[in-house]
Structures are given as C-alpha cells and as structure tokens.
Amino acid sequence: MKAALNSFKKKLAQLGRSMLVPVTAMPVAGILSRIASPDMLNIPLLKSAGDIVFGNMDILFALGAVVAFAKAKDKVSPMVASLLSILVLKSTLAALDETISMGIFAGIIVGCFTAWIFNHSKDWKTPKIFDFFTGEKFVITLAPIATVGLGYVLSFIWPPIQMVLDGFAIGIAKLGAVGVFIFGFLNRLLIPVGLHHVFNSYIYFNLGSYTQADGTVVTGEMTRFLAGDPTAGLFLSMFFVVMMFGLPGAALAMYKCAKKRKSEVKGLMTSSAITSFVTGITEPLEFSFMFVAPQLYFVHALYTGLAGAVCYLLGIRIGFSSGGNIIDLVLNWGLGSNVILIIPVGIAFFALYYFTFRFLIVKYNLKTLGREDDFIDSEEITEEEKNATLSNKNYAYIAKKIVENLGGAANIENIGHCMTRLRVETKDASLMNLEKIKQMGVKGVITLSDTSVQIIIGSEVQQVMAEIEQII
C-alpha cells in the first residue's frame, strides 16, 4: 500500500511538472495580446500572435505531459508524436461528436498516452527492414494511429466527465467568496508537493467560457480575462494582494526576527520580496519558511484564500498573463474593475502578514532564516565543500557533487527542473547520499519516495541543470 501511494505521489508530482510548459509560454503571449488590444496599441496582427498561444493550450499541455513522462534523454521523437496525436484526437472527436470539449485535458491525456506508448515500444524488436522507423522513433508511427482508437473511447467516456467538471465549475462559482477562498487556500497548500499547477490549470484554462466578437470561444479565468470577458478575474485578483504585498510583509518579519547573519538574511529577503513583487515568482520566498516553519506556510495558505474572499466581496476583478505582479497590474488595469482597491487591501495584508509572522516566529521560536540552531555535522566536510555554495556561483562543482551523491549518472533515471527545483528519479535509493547534497548550499531536499527526490536550488536552478546535463 505504501509503495502504491509513493508511486501515485511521484506520478502526480511529474504531472505537476508538466503544467509548467504552458505556464512558461503564457507571459510573452499575454503581454503581446494585451498591449496590442484595441484599448491600447490596437495592432491586430500582434494581438493575433499572442492569441494563438491561448487557442492552442491543449497542444502545449500535450507536449508538457509527454516531456514529464517519456523516459529518454532525447525527447524529440515523443514530442513529435504527441503533437501529431493531439491533432489526430481533435479531428477524431470533431468527427464523432462536435459538442465534446475536452480543453486542456485532451492535451494531458494525449501526452500521458504518448509517453506510455513510447516507454513500452522503444525497445521492441522488428525486422531489419523497418529499423529506420523503430526504436525511439517508433512512437511517431504508433501513437497517432492508436490515438484514433483513444478518440473513439473518449467520445463515450468524456461527455459524463464533462458534465461533472461543468458542475464543479458552476458549484465553485455559486459558492462566491467561499469558492474563491477554497481555491486560494488549496492553490498555496499544494505547492510543497508541486501539484498546485494541476489544480490551477482547470481554473486558469477551463473555468467558464466567453465568445469574442469574431466568434472565437475561449475558456478559463486567465484566458477569458485577457480576451475581455467582463465576468473574469474574480479568481485571480488575490494573487496581486499576496505576491505584491503579503509575502513582502512576511519577508520583512523574518528579517526583523533574525538573530544572526542579519546582513545575509536582509539580502535574501529583499531579493526574494522584489522577485515576488516584480515577477510574481514566489517560490524563493516561500521555500525559505515552508519546511523550517510549516505553521507559517499554513497561515500563508489561509491568508491567500482570505485575500481572494476579500477581493471577491469588494468586486475587485483583474487577471494576469504571467502572475500577480506589478507589470501585469499596470498592463491589465484598464480591463479590470475596482482595481484601485488592490492598493489599500494590499497594504492591509502587508501588515497582516508582517505582524502574524513576527508574532508566531517569536512566540514559538520558529527556526526561520537567521534563527537556526548551531549544528555541527558528525561527518567531515572538506573546505572545498564548505565553499561550494550557490552564493559563489560554482555551478559546475555543485552539479558534479549532486550527480555524485545521487549515485552517479548511471543511477539517474530521469532529471528535470522547474522554476526552482531539480526533480530527480533514481534507480537505486541506497546509492544516494542526501545529507551530502544538503551540504552543497541547496535550500532543501524533498523525498517523495525512496527513489524520487526534489532538490530545491532556487532561481539559479537552470545554471545548475545546464552543468548537470554536461555530466550525464
């Protein structure tokens, strides 16, 4: 039972990683679409370039899912197969039942289905005359053909599922402020296991529908808002309050409570707060207290939901393309409603986060940055290892030691990264030395199962990953 649960958690974490592909593609598309809108620069050609991304989210999700689950270092073949397969599925469903609308779920299912075919067919043996088409390229032939059958099955299975999902959307909407609170709370609560993208995706890309002037139908809170839907944005306004005001308040509290290394803590908290305010990327700041003080993180999740409920009750309606940051606030101000109220609400939440975090840290002696107990590892640490922290930018050495302490390149079955984490699957857990990895200056190590770990690097994860790719 435990093994099955660990396997399920691992698969969900991989699925969460796949959600990052479309999310990464959205900022530029959203900015293009917004600044080219009729009420701004009014450049239809530029707007259509941005809108094309929102019109093909299912394709992006298919690519994301196949990248997450295909077991290969070179994933070009499964990606090509996934692209062909999602086009085949859309055509098949349209021919069988035009009323079926799977949205992003079509992409997720096709991506997982293609990865499954790839993982099972890449080692199949065939007559030598077919060698060119087999091996890792075999999926390009098999997946689109198999997807026709998948489409036929889904034409029976999906309609009742679609009714349930629609009911969920309607139910959340009918709950009003309570529904928004639940969404905000779960949105943050799922971040530690990397599954918030799974939960977000339905709200962002499938909740509700809106028909534009040219007849194009778009779905999802994010896409509907950017398309000009006057009812969209109620589920998104909370993030401006939390990312621009609440979390910076938490950062100030942690700095004020630090007992040692004040200048270092000040630098880390300042840079993390600015990152949250300007870009909407919150992981560097959230990870600084998520594991050392989970009580604070639970409060943070509650306050995110509370911010959503308050914004809903005040009729604050604003959306984003990249996140609840100052850039999106300025660009999308004209599309929203009661946006000016973000400022007083944000100031109130800055104070709420600051005083709550400061009270809890002091009262319960929480070990946030600058308050850690002195610790001497019984295992000898070399001077070279002591100096090999991310602060000195020695990415090559850090990558080398991470690979070494994961059991070597041969023990790494799959490795990838999101905005702040390395996500690793190994073959033999006994070969890993996670304590040594923690000594490399990383921000934390999460064990999802015996062979699946996440190494929290921070904003420099891409540089570390680039060095790891040179090794393996």
Residues that are catalytic: 418
21 to each of 59, 90, 107, how far by Cα in Å? Answer: 10, 20, 12
* Beta-carbon-side half-sphere exposure of residue 16 (alpha carbons within 13 Å): 22
3-state secondary structure of 126: coil
Q: Determine whether 163 is exposed, middle or buried from the number of CB atoms within 10 Å of its CB (0-12, 13-18, 19+).
A: exposed
DSSP-assigned letter for residue 317: B
Residue ranges of the alpha helices (H) in 364-441? 383-387, 395-405, 434-438
Q: How many CB atoms lie within 10 A of CB 134?
A: 19
Q: Which residues lie below 8 Å from residue 363, measured CB to CB, with a gap of 6+?
A: none
CB 158 within 8 A of CB 166: no
How far is residue 314's CA from residue 102's CA, in Å, rounded to a whole number? 33
* Buried/exposed 253-268: b ≥16 CB within 10 Å, e otherwise: bbbbbbeeeeeebbeb
Tokens of 385: 């290892």
Using the Cα atoms of residue 243, residue 248, residue 254 and residue 257 in order, give the sign of their dihedral: negative
Q: How many CB atoms lie within 10 A of CB 129?
A: 7
CB 34 within 8 A of CB 40: yes
CB 234 within 8 A of CB 339: no
Q: Which amino acid is it at 158?
A: W
Q: Determine whether 345 is exposed, middle or buried from the number of CB atoms within 10 Å of its CB (0-12, 13-18, 19+).
A: buried
Q: Determine whether 430 is exposed, middle or buried from the number of CB atoms within 10 Å of its CB (0-12, 13-18, 19+).
A: exposed
How far is residue 452's CA from residue 446's CA, in Å, rounded to a whole number? 9
- Return the residue matching tokens 């104070």: 351
* Buried/exposed 269-284: b ≥16 CB within 10 Å, e otherwise: beebbebbbebbbbbb
